[in-house]
A and B are shown apart, each in its own frame.
Chain A
């Protein structure tokens, strides 16, 4: 108790999370998103060609095609916007993750509230050589974060750094 202090804190002098520089994620994630949407587009186009082959109603088909073009146009545009907004930052005591273009969302998870971290890689990730880092808290799904498009060794290093912080916090 000797070195117990209780100073008044000047709130405006505390570190500001909104001023942090975010690190971007790998450009390979852009390729992955585009590939995924591209594959979906292929399937939809095949479906449309089949309909065209059976010659159903030309006017409706043109309308449908316009819909498809609009939807996928928006998707590809949105993907390129999204890519720019993905970002993460590690501070001394917490991790920040930012995403979203139309609705920009930043989640801050303090290290001493992390339950555990894991790395997951799906087939696309393996092909392109990227990883997803998932961080779980006890605050439900809205509070968990998963950062896509990280270089595998970076993801691993981050996971290990987190694990170190987790155990360091307890002592």
Chain B
């Protein structure tokens, strides 16, 4: 371009550029035309689905059964207004690819198609909701749970004191290092100064006061955070849903219906358990990119309320069987090797670059290794998968203990992995896919497979709608 600016293009270059652009334009037009001709949709009444074909080089054929259609609507942009066409959007539940949009459809046709699709869609959803009402006649014990000021304070203090401890540790180590370097440089002056100082007890107490202030600040920040997020949290059970309201700045209101709930997590740690505080997380069915958003956190529930939430969301039955599975030692070995890689890698750094003394490194690496081994062993011991007649539970966590609960019939599909090196030990990794996220369990013995088959039996013989 710069070359052209200075000399001006010659006639032949101009012609070539013009020709090139012309060819490009023709190709683009041809592509658009073929794309237009190949973009076809129709309604297949026999198979009860909406079919769309598109693509020039890669042909894609999409078929959406009537009952999977969640929403149909039309919209227009300015350009579409000028051209007097509409966009027709057909939304379905599930992953990202499942949204159809027909970009340019005439008003008349759009309305026609809209009417047809809404009609067939309603027909199916009516049938579905009818069957649900009859199926869900649970007892309607109504209750309300509110978070008091004190509970919010407790949550604030107990959730993030680790951060507080880390802050204090960081504070003291920096102070210690400062003092050491300063005292080495000016040992005489300090000696004189120290003589004038009131005494060691008082200087230690100054440190203590500062430490308390730091801890207090960190707790205060967390408490403020908790207050802003969960102020005025109210959990109310109505006849067929759980109404949740919370937040100071942005007031969130959610209505939880048992049918929509895909996954339930209950999290607590020893301190919170002692204070009778449990956090409940609920995943709802939503499209993939909104998965994060659709996880609802409700902190500060006592054990009785957690039980009430559970009994509202799930119909508890006495299960005929209860099988608990634990991972194989191979998993522990694998985790240990992975977590020890940083320690081993740091050997090279110590050997090649002379940053720190070997003894200091040995101490640091030793402490790291010890903590890593203890942590991994505890983590390994905490992993448990329990299968009952209607539910699947996964328990894990060293400090924050999590229990995940999944109703078997809400599983979308199951993947079973077997790396070559598992074959001899008869092990598999299993992933349960749900509309609210995956639950995976690694290195479990193959004798779990009959239970997986049982789950398929449960899913496939159940006509209840999963959302």
Given A112-B460, A116-B92, A138-B435, are A121 and B59 neighbors across the interface (CB < 8 Å)?
A: yes
A163, chain B: closest CB distance, angstroms: 4
Per-residue 0/1 for B87-115: is the Cβ within 8 Å of any A Cβ (1 yes, 0 no)? Answer: 00000111111100000000000000000
**Interface status of B397 (Cβ within 8 A of chain A):** no
**In residues 415-440 of chain B, which contact A (Cβ within 8 Å)?**
415-420, 431, 433-435, 437-438
A103 and B453 form a contact (CB under 8 A): no
* In the complex, chain A residues whose CB is within 8 Å of the CB of B466: 113, 138
Q: Are B416 and A105 in contact (CB under 8 A)?
A: yes
**What separation, in Å, do the CA atoms of A16 and B433 have in the docked complex?**
19
Q: Interface of chain A, helix or strand or loop or mixed?
A: mixed
**Is B205 an interface residue when CB atoms closer than 8 A count as contact?**
no
Q: 15 interchain pairs (CB within 8 A)?
A: A9-B454, A11-B454, A14-B454, A104-B420, A109-B413, A118-B60, A118-B62, A119-B59, A119-B60, A120-B58, A120-B61, A137-B413, A138-B466, A140-B291, A140-B438
B288 within 8 A of A: yes
Per-position contact with B for A135-171: 1 when CB-CB < 8 Å, else 0? 0111111111100000000000001100110110110
Determine if B456 and A94 form an interchain contact, defined as CB atoms under 8 angstroms apart: yes
In the complex, which residues of chain A have a beta carbon less than 8 angstroms from the beta carbon of B136? Answer: none
Number of chain A interface residues as a range: 35 or more
How far in angstroms is the closest Cβ of chain B from A39? 16
Task: Let me know if B467 and A138 touch, CB within 8 A.
Answer: yes
Note all chain B residues with C-beta closer than 8 A to A143: 95, 412-413, 415, 433, 438
The 8 closest A-B pairs by CB, nearest first: A139-B412, A139-B433, A143-B433, A138-B94, A93-B460, A138-B435, A109-B413, A107-B415
Taking CB atoms, residues of chain A closer than 8 Å to B383 are none
Please report the C-alpha to C-alpha distance between residue A64 and residue B187 in the assembled complex, in whole angstroms: 59
Chain A positions within 8 Å of B450 at CB level: 11-12, 14, 16
The answer to whether B127 touches A144, judged by C-beta atoms less than 8 angstroms apart, is no
B416 touches A106 (CB 8 A): yes
Q: Which residues of A contact B62 (CB under 8 A)?
A: 116, 118
B226 close to A (CB within 8 Å):
no
Using A115-B93, A122-B57, A136-B95 as known contacts, say yes or no to A105 and B449 having CB atoms under 8 A apart.
no
B61 lies within 8 A of A107 (CB): no
> A123 on the interface (CB 8 Å rule)?
yes
Of the candidate stretches B64-72, B176-184, B368-376, the one touching chain A is: B64-72
Tell me the bound Cα distance from A139 to B262 in angstroms. 10
Is there an interface contact between A16 and B453, defined as CB atoms closer than 8 Å? yes
* Per-position 1/0 for B275-297, Cβ under 8 A of A: 00000000001001001000000
CB contact between B418 and one of A8, A15, A104 (< 8 Å): that residue: A104
Q: Which of B60, B98, B417, B463 contacts A136 (CB 8 A)?
A: B98
Q: Chain A residues near B59 (CB, 8 Å)?
A: 119-121, 126
Residues of chain B whose beta carbon lies under 8 Å from any beta carbon of chain A: 44, 47-49, 55, 57-68, 92-98, 124, 127-128, 285, 288, 291, 320-321, 411-420, 431, 433-435, 437-438, 449-454, 456-457, 459-460, 462-463, 466-467
Total of A-B residue pairs, C-beta within 8 Å = 181
The verdict on A117 contacting B58 (CB below 8 Å), with A17-B452, A139-B433 known, is no
Secondary structure at chain B's binding surface: helix, strand, loop or mixed? mixed
For residue B408, give the distance in angstroms from its CB to the closest CB of chain A: 11
The verdict on A108 contacting chain B, using a C-beta distance below 8 Å, is: yes
Indicate if the CB atoms of A14 and B60 lie closer than 8 Å: no
On whether the beta carbons of A16 and B449 are closer than 8 Å, the reply is yes
Q: Which residues of A contact B416 (CB under 8 A)?
A: 18, 105-108
Residues from chain A with Cβ under 8 Å of B93 in the complex: 115, 138
Contact of B288 among A108, A141, A166 (CB under 8 A): A141
Q: How far is the CA of A109 from the CA of B457 in the complex (A)?
A: 12
Provided the pairs A102-B420, A159-B63 are in contact, do residues A113 and B459 lie with their beta carbons within 8 angstroms? yes
Contact B433 A15 (CB under 8 A): no
Whether B95 lies near A103 (C-beta < 8 A) is no
12 further A-B contacts with Cβ under 8 Å, apart from A93-B460, A110-B459, A120-B61, are A16-B453, A105-B416, A108-B416, A112-B463, A113-B459, A116-B62, A123-B58, A137-B412, A138-B285, A139-B412, A139-B435, A163-B44
Contact of A103 among B61, B124, B417 (CB under 8 A): B417
Please state if A113 and B463 are interface contacts (CB–CB under 8 Å). no
Interfacial chain B residues near A106, Cβ < 8 Å: 415-416
